[in-house]
Chain A
Amino acid sequence: MTEVRVPPATGHPREATSEPDLQAPGPVPRGRRPAPAGPFGILQWARWGWRQLTSMRTALILLFLLALGSVPGSVLPQQGIDPQAVQQYYAAHPALAPWLARFSLFNVFGAPWFAAIYLLLFLSLAGCVVPRTFRLAFAARQQPPRAPRNLSRLPLVSTMASPLAADAALAASSALLAGKRFRVRAGDGWISAEKGYLREAGNLLFHLALLALLAAVSLGGLFGYKANRLLVAGQSFGNTVTALDQFRPGRLVSASDLQPFSIALDSFSARYVPSGPDMGQPAAFNAYLSYQAQPGAATQRYDLQVNHPLNVDNVKVYLIGHGYAPVFRVADGTGRVVFNGPVPFIPVAVNSLMSEGVVKVPDARPRQLGFAGVFMPTTVDVGGKLQSAFPAPYRPAVSLVSFAGNLGMNSGVPQSVYQLDTAGLHRLAVPPRPLSPGQSIRLPNGMGTLTFTGYRQWISLAITYDPGQLPALIAAIAALAGLLVSFLVRRRRVFLRAVPAAGGGSTVEFAGLARTESSETFGAEFAELSAELSAALGAAADDGAGERGPHGAAPPGATPAGQRGPRGDVPVGTPSGTSPTAHADASAVPATAPVVPSANPAIDVPSETDERE
């Protein structure tokens, strides 16, 4: 009766645990597989490699490599995020930079070695999780294991004497447990019940959702695209490659895959903080658009703002910048108007929106003309230098330097539209003077005239199409749900044995086991179950061998004295506690067994032990 049984050492090759079941048990061999004799064949190497890949240790190492590999991606400038910073890094570290580039450290997240890490990790994950999913599906209707022979070895045991016959007691218990949504299995003189299968399902859902997330991200990368377009007020564009300033397609995107919407910027208004310490900070932007989802569709209007993208035909259009585009009219030496339109200038000062830009007039006669300068929305003269004091156009002016000669545009080599290549140009002697709207520069030698006719505003749009975005969101939410389920649901088993007792009735032994780590709450649950069972079985008050104290009348949470639970959530100092239990050794075989229950074949896989019966 007071035997102490230390659970036998586990013969399991990989020690599974009672912790959240992230461990991959793999196919469970009974005992170790003997190493094959002779040299390893390809197949055996493959199997060995696969087993190594899907082991937890490999997963851990890959996780760390993933984290470690991300570090350079955050401290070094990345090509895809800030190419100018990369250029600056090259300039600052001319010897080191090419070496870093060789290891793709300026494009870490697109690097082959980074891809190798996460692909291996997901392969390991898939190889572990997918078989377990099948196993869970097959086991969905699997019965709980048989009750162990000696219930006293379990961590939580309670004994009660019931006036009911053994069979009736078992039937009543079975009904009670089934009512509590346990999966019940009845045997000869015993009942086994289990609850909490959802935990494994949640765990698998989480990991499968991660796989789905990766697939969704790949989907976006293959079929999605990003593009930019700068649009001056009054202009419109259609979503074609020829109309976009930048186009970064996914691998499988071609020009005809672009959604054929068109967008026109009717007007743009910006509000700035007029005074105080934040003077000049933007307060609100409104870009009033008209758009058509397809050519010929109805025109709709939209007020585009930061944080409020336009969603047209599953493509998202974001407002990411704005600025000024002064309008110029240039007449050349022959008097013909050879240029007439807005020229976007790029802001260089955020608070005042002073902007820089160039005007290129390549078809002017007799010589090509070029102008470079600044536009100031609110011009002020600070000690002889012109600056802009405020981003709203209260006093717009433009100040330009004039050039003539060869702009270098005819050779076919691409040029930036915001920069002037002055190699083939010579500067014209024009007295420097800022122009207000309506004013002109007359170029010397009959080269022509430039008139600053007015200004408009422009916006820059980011156009993003990512078909994997919604699947990624769903996968992420599913992962979170699976995570919560796997953390909150506990898997527990209870067993009952009823033996006929002398004088009619039966002695019922009720034992419980939490397969996962959450001892305290299971202890409370066990206590409740115990109380309810004893009520259902009509268990009588104390008598000699190992019954409990007063039942039913016990205050909630008080221990039926026959229960001892080393992990039990039992309040200390239960006053009623002098009735002995019959199984004192249970405290001597403390939680070693239950903490690692699945490592203990004697308890967790009772079919092995019970086969002796």
Chain B
Amino acid sequence: MRLRARRATRAAARSAARAGALALGASLALAACEGGAIGQSTAASNGQSFVSGSAGTTVYGATSGPAAPRVTGTLLSGEKFGLTQYGGHVVVLNFWGSWCTPCRAEAPSLAQLARHFTPRGVRFLGVDIRDSPATAEAFQSRFGISYPSLNDPGDEIALDFRDTVPPAGIPTTLVIGRSGRIAARIIGEVSYPGLRGLISQALAASA
């Protein structure tokens, strides 16, 4: 009797072991096939000196998205500024740099959207990365960007967003609703109609 029980236990243990081995193998296969495990497949460096991120738009909803963090910093002009000064408004936050080619490509769209929506109560704010103030101001005057930008040489503002909706590349544009919740994030060059639609949605959502 005991022998049979022991044999049964062993048989069960064996099949458990086999199942475990198969599961282990499957999970490792997953890791390996997707290029993460042993084969370190790395992207070739093309010297572009920034990570473009995987482009795409993620919509969170102006009432349900994560709350934007407290953002404070120094404007390019030297004044101190905090995002709370825009409290109650829809805010479009754009991470950019004058050296970043997609940022230059989207700058006209942003400038035009700013001109269009600022009278309607939307506030635009830029976060300038790895630029000297002189270079940044030349960029702004070149593209007719009228809204201010925070100078963020140490990436503090980007770090502030790490727990919520981090900028996963340059450029990144966040649309923040009236209640301070992040409504949408666009990674990569924005398109005029796309961003316009998101801003309108945020405006239309109740505070």
Contacts and interface: CB of A to CB of B under 8 A. Distances in A.
Interface of A: 27, 50, 79-80, 83, 107-112, 114-115, 118-119, 122-123, 126-127, 130-131, 133-135, 138, 211, 214-215, 217-218, 221-222, 226, 228, 230, 235-248, 250-252, 254-256, 258, 260, 262, 264, 295, 332, 336-341, 360-365, 409-419
A256 B106 CA distance: 25
B14 interface: yes
A375 B114 CA distance: 42
Interface string B139-177: 101100000000001111011101110111110100000
A214 B141 CA distance: 55
Contacts of B138: 332, 336, 338-339, 361, 363-364
For the complex of A and B, the 7 pairs showing the least CB-CB separation, nearest first, are A110-B39, A412-B105, A238-B155, A221-B36, A416-B47, A363-B138, A83-B44
Contact of A414 (B24, B52, B130, B160): B52
For A211, A238, A337, A413, the residue with the greatest tally of chain B CB atoms inside 10 Å of its CB is: A238
A414 B37 contact: no
A240 to B, nearest CB: 4
B164 to A, nearest CB: 8
B28 interface: yes
B205 interface: no
Given A362-B142, A412-B101, A417-B48, 7 more contacts: A131-B13, A138-B6, A138-B10, A138-B13, A221-B32, A221-B40, A222-B31
Given A363-B138, A415-B48, A243 B34 contact: no
Contact of B168 (A109, A130, A218, A241): A241
A365 B42 CA distance: 40
Interface string B31-65: 11111111111111111111111000000000000
Given A119-B29, A134-B10, A110 B35 contact: yes
10 contacts: A235-B153, A238-B155, A248-B43, A250-B36, A262-B155, A336-B134, A364-B138, A410-B104, A415-B48, A416-B46
B36 A107 contact: no
B74 to A, nearest CB: 14
Given A79-B41, A242-B51, A415 B36 contact: no
B41 A215 contact: no
A119 B170 CA distance: 38
A215 B155 CA distance: 35
A243 B129 contact: yes
Given A236-B153, A339-B135, A340-B132, A246 B43 contact: yes
Given A109-B40, A338-B135, A241 B166 contact: yes
B24 A242 contact: no
A110 B43 CA distance: 13
Contacts of A112: 33
B17 interface: yes
Nearest to B27: A218
A410 B105 contact: yes
Contact of A240 (B47, B132, B158): B158
A50 B52 CA distance: 46
Contact of B45 (A83, A237, A264): A83
A107 B31 contact: no
Contacts of B141: 363
B121 interface: no
A218 B36 contact: yes
A241 B29 contact: no
B198 to A, nearest CB: 20
A6 to B, nearest CB: 33
A160 to B, nearest CB: 38
B81 to A, nearest CB: 18
B161 to A, nearest CB: 8
Contacts of B164: 256
B101 A110 contact: no
A218 B17 contact: no
B183 to A, nearest CB: 18
A115 B18 contact: no
B25 interface: yes
B168 A295 contact: no
A218 B40 CA distance: 11
A138 B10 CA distance: 9
A251 B132 contact: no
Contacts of A256: 162-164, 166
Contacts of B14: 27, 131, 134
A108 B99 CA distance: 36
A111 B189 contact: no
B24 A363 contact: no
A214 B29 CA distance: 11
A126 B51 contact: no
Contacts of B95: 242
A218 B30 CA distance: 10
A241 B172 CA distance: 11
Contacts of A413: 101
Contact of A115 (B22, B32, B44, B189): B32
B135 A341 contact: yes
Contact of A110 (B38, B139, B162): B38
Interface in B1-27: 6, 10, 13-14, 17-18, 20-22, 24-25, 27
B179 interface: no
A369 to B, nearest CB: 11
A363 B135 contact: yes
Nearest to B172: A242
A116 to B, nearest CB: 8
Contacts of A247: 51
A385 B51 CA distance: 38
B17 A134 contact: yes
B102 interface: yes
A227 to B, nearest CB: 8
B39 A241 contact: no
Nearest to B40: A80
B24 A211 contact: yes
Contacts of B104: 362, 409-410, 412
B44 A122 contact: no
A262 B51 contact: no
A339 B159 contact: no
